Amino acid sequence: MSALWHDMPLRGRVLAGALLAALAAAPLVADRYLLSVLILIFYFAYLGQAWNLMMGLAGQLSLGHALYVGLGGYVAAMLWVHLGIGPWLALVPAMAAGALAGGVIAWLGFRFSIEGVYFALLTIAFAEFTRIAFEHIGAAGGAGGFFIPYQAERLGEWWNLRGGQWLFYYVAFALATGAVALTAWLKRSRLGYHWQAVRENQQAARALGIDILAVKMKAAVISSAMTAVGGVFYAFYYDSLFPAQVFNISRSIELMLAPIVGGLGTIFGPVFGAFILTPLGEGLSAALEQLGVNAPGAKAVFYGLTLMLIIFVRPDGVWPALARACGLAPARGDDA
């Protein structure tokens, strides 16, 4: 962390400080719509960061991260509605559920050396399996969805994540900032270097004495537990969960957009990606609505084209090149 700050050129420090201050003060001036877009940006920056740990740092492609979002959300929402256990406490079982699912999938995959595409398919298969299972679990509301009832008298209970937009804004802000800090710290940690070694060359990493299976498992467990936290936020922000939506493959794809566009394996890439993509997508939806065009797929077509374009011309993402061009890249290394 402190290394990140030290390596950052002065210009970067000033910019980062100004951005943090502006975002912290945003609720004072921004209207509801702008705040809702910012919340989405933070949410996707956070999830992107979680996915980035596994794909960007450890090089393991997961296409089923919606599974952990859904599990985290369902665990917290059901504990709250059925047992009255608040979300802060429920973070522990939610993260445990995510970590367990992520750990089991990773163990099954990596133990039997299912790599690359096959591993990605395994993650999708588990997410889809769980989606259909949840559509048939009565206690979780089945296909009709699970709802957190609106209770006006609890609105002020910020400690139970019950509150207005400001509350969710600052929670999302904290999540995104925390995720950046965690990624920065992990990337420079012993584990982080092990991940990057495995990503670059598994054989060489093994020859160096790195326990490949353990290192990959840690990536999966940390990433899925982090993602489950995002699910808790999702459940309490939207107050509803539908299996067909939360566990959908398109959710898994959606949350990898920001890190891919921003830059895989970079610290600020996922944040930057979320800051470009989310407003563009939301803006497109709003513009089409203004024009009276009812085109449900338009936003996804745009995202799809963006994905293809980025991977075609700049597979490393936009952020690394931009950071270099603006003199924001650190003096040493390639950590942007």
Partner 1 sequence: MSSLILNVVVQGGLTGLVYGLMALGLSVIFGVVRVVNFAHGELVVLAMYAAFELWRSFGLDPLVGTLPVAVVFFGLGYLLQTTLINPFIGRAEHEQFILLVGLGMVIVNGLLMIFRPDARPINLAYGFDSYEVGPLLIYKVNLLAGAAAVVVAAALFVFFRWTATGTAIRACADNLTGAAVVGLNVRRLYALTFGIGLACVGAAGALMVTIVEVRPALAPSFTLLAFIIVIIGGLGSMGGALLGGVLIGVSEALAGFFFEPSMKSMFSFGLLILVLVLRPQGLLGRRA
Q: Which residues of 72-87 are buried (b: 16+ CB within 10 A; e: fewer)?
A: bbbbbbbbbeeeebbb
Cβ nearer to partner 1, comparing 170 with 302:
302
At closest approach, how far in Å is the CB of 215 from partner 1?
19
Cβ nearer to partner 1, comparing 10 with 313:
313
In angstroms, the Cα distances linking 333 to 64, 77, 133, 201, 289 are 32, 43, 46, 19, 45
Residues forming contacts to partner 1 in the complex (CB under 8 A) are 55, 61, 108-109, 112, 114, 116-118, 120-122, 124-126, 128-129, 132-133, 135-136, 143, 249-250, 253, 256, 260, 295-298, 300-301, 303-308, 311-312, 315
At closest approach, how far in Å is the CB of 280 from partner 1?
15
At closest approach, how far in Å is the CB of 292 from partner 1?
15
Rounded distance between C-alpha atoms, residue 232 and residue 33, angstroms: 22
Tokens for 279? 């407003």
Cβ nearer to partner 1, comparing 209 with 296:
296
At closest approach, how far in Å is the CB of 74 from partner 1?
17
At closest approach, how far in Å is the CB of 194 from partner 1?
20
At closest approach, how far in Å is the CB of 336 from partner 1?
19
At closest approach, how far in Å is the CB of 244 from partner 1?
10
Cβ nearer to partner 1, comparing 172 with 220:
220
- Which has the closest alpha carbon to 50: 113, 125, 102? 102
Rounded distance between C-alpha atoms, residue 319 and residue 262, angstroms: 5
Cβ nearer to partner 1, comparing 92 with 125:
125
Rounded distance between C-alpha atoms, residue 88 and residue 103, angstroms: 23
CA–CA–CA angle 214, 260, 130 (5° rounding) = 60
Cβ nearer to partner 1, comparing 20 with 300:
300
- Which has the closest alpha carbon to 181: 15, 20, 18, 328? 20
DSSP H or E run through 241: strand 240-241
Cβ nearer to partner 1, comparing 191 with 253:
253
Tokens for 294? 């009812």
In eight-state DSSP terms, residue 55 is I
